[in-house]
């Protein structure tokens, strides 16, 4: 996974001050927090990502986002 930093901002919160946020093509763990509810979506680089929950990552305090998939 990539870490947020000066050359790689978090795709959700644009964090660059440290490596607290982590991300790859399958998941974003954002440590800034969000007021979104599970199932809400945001756009990252033109693609829809779904907010999953607030208890992700090693600390259990990261907002978890995954690529959005329509329910069938």
* Model confidence at 72: pLDDT above 90: no
* Model confidence at 61: pLDDT above 90: no
Q: Is residue 41 exposed (0-12), middle (13-18) or buried (19+ Cβ within 10 Å)?
A: middle
Q: What is the mean pLDDT of the chain?
A: 92
Q: What is the pLDDT of residue 26?
A: 97
Query: What's the pLDDT tens digit per position in 28-52?
Result: 999 987 789 999 999 999 999 999 9
* Model confidence at 21: pLDDT above 80: yes
Say what the pTM is.
0.89
- In angstroms, the CA 32 to CA 56 distance is 12
């Amino acid at each position: 996974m990539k870490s947020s930093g000066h050359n790689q901002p978090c795709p959700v919160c644009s964090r660059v001050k440290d490596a607290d946020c982590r991300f790859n093509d399958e998941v974003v763990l954002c440590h800034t927090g969000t007021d979104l509810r599970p199932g809400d979506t945001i756009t990252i680089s033109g693609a829809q990502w779904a907010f999953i929950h607030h208890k992700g990552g090693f600390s259990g305090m990261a907002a978890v986002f995954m690529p959005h998939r329509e329910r069938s």
